[in-house]
């Protein structure tokens, strides 16, 4: 009984956090280990179901690189990359779409439905959600790799209004109807901007922004635009972190309230970030 009362106390302690974000849209880019480790996946689904139930409006944009690579292997196709971008020829594109929109997406939807959460899976083709164009990089033919041109957000708003949790596969189509493989971070960011989301959360395998990349204890729990620009100039934000930070700053500029980088290998990382004051990753926001 004492145990149960303790639980009740904890529930009521969450009240102010629940009230603060009630009715707010939270777009979560869901990828990395939190997707491939079943226990972590169970926790993410559970955390998002709870966020939905207590009144937040989560939207999930998922990756699926490992599943794609697995299927390419089965088919004897060789994954090729250029600077981290998957070179996607026509057969690879066909497979990528099948895996993302037909397998990963529907598995996630099914997990939500079984957790008692009304959920609908979409690809960027549905209702013309993500109109894209081929990504042009000098000297390399990336194939069917795209970048988002226009977001037609109507169907996502409709589903949110009616109590559904939308789960979105990062597949776009160009004006001729060709499928294009989109970067999930970019798709999530574009959708968060189109929704004017309160929060955009990148659930990945890194802790966030470290002042000294070698030392986890130097994690910045909060970073505003000025800090971020300084970090890039001073060099402690470098390498692959630079385009990520630039995407975050762009999202802030286009009306997203805050952007979070979060290590999904932590238990209940999402809930901790939302329901505690300090959080566990890096929150990036505009200068006051």
Q: Which residues bind its own copies (CB under 8 A)?
A: 1, 4-5, 7-16, 18-19, 22, 43, 46-47, 49-50, 53-55, 74-75, 94, 97-103, 105-106, 109-111, 113-116, 118-123, 125-128, 155, 158, 162, 164, 171, 173, 177, 179, 266-268, 271-272, 275-276, 280
Q: Which of residues 155 and 229 has its CB atom nearest to its own copies in the complex?
A: 155
Cα 103 to Cα 123: distance, rounded to the nearest angstrom: 12
Tell me if 133 sits within 8 A of 218, measured CB to CB: no
Tokens (6 digits) for 66: 């490992």
Cα 68 to Cα 31: distance, rounded to the nearest angstrom: 13
Q: Which of residues 218 and 246 has its CB atom nearest to its own copies in the complex?
A: 218
State in angstroms the smallest separation of the CB of 7 from its own copies: 5
Tokens (6 digits) for 180: 């294009």
Closest CA to 262 of 111, 20, 44, 16: 44
State in angstroms the smallest separation of the CB of 230 from its own copies: 29
Cα 132 to Cα 173: distance, rounded to the nearest angstrom: 6
Q: Which of residues 83 and 217 has its CB atom nearest to its own copies in the complex?
A: 217
Q: Which of residues 139 and 177 has its CB atom nearest to its own copies in the complex?
A: 177
For residue 213, give Cα distances in angstroms to 208, 231, 239, 259. Answer: 10, 12, 11, 20
Tokens (6 digits) for 246: 């630039």
Tokens (6 digits) for 50: 């709870």
State in angstroms the smallest separation of the CB of 217 from its own copies: 13
The DSSP code for 102 is I
State in angstroms the smallest separation of the CB of 259 from its own copies: 21
Give the three-class secondary structure for 111.
Answer: helix
Q: Which of residues 248 and 263 has its CB atom nearest to its own copies in the complex?
A: 263
Q: Which of residues 105 and 183 has its CB atom nearest to its own copies in the complex?
A: 105
Cα 150 to Cα 172: distance, rounded to the nearest angstrom: 10
């Amino acid at each position: 009984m004492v145990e149960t009362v303790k639980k009740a106390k904890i529930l009521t302690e969450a009240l102010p956090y629940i009230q603060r974000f009630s009715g707010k849209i939270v777009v979560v880019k869901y990828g990395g280990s939190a997707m491939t480790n079943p226990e972590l996946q169970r926790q993410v689904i559970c955390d998002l179901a709870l966020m939905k139930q207590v009144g937040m409006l989560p939207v999930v944009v998922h990756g699926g690189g490992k599943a794609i690579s697995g299927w390419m292997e089965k088919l004897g196709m060789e994954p090729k990359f250029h600077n981290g971008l998957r070179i996607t020829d026509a057969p690879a594109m066909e497979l990528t779409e099948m895996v993302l929109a037909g397998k990963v997406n529907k598995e996630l939807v099914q997990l939500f439905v079984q957790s008692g959460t009304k959920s609908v899976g979409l690809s960027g083709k549905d209702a013309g959600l993500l109109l894209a164009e081929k990504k042009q990089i000098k000297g390399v033919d990336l194939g069917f790799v795209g970048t988002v041109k226009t977001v037609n957000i109507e169907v996502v708003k409709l589903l949110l209004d009616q109590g559904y949790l939308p789960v979105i596969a990062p597949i776009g189509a160009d004006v001729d109807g060709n499928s294009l493989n989109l970067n999930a971070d970019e798709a999530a960011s574009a959708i968060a901007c189109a929704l004017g989301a309160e929060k955009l959360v990148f659930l990945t395998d890194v802790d966030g922004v470290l002042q000294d990349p070698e030392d986890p204890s130097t994690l910045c729990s909060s970073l505003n635009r000025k800090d971020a620009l300084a970090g890039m100039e001073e060099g402690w934000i470098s390498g692959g972190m630079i385009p990520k930070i630039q995407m975050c700053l762009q999202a802030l500029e286009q009306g997203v309230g805050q952007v979070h980088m979060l290590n999904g290998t932590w238990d209940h990382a999402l809930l901790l970030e939302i329901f505690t004051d300090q959080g566990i990753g890096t929150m990036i926001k505009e200068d006051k």
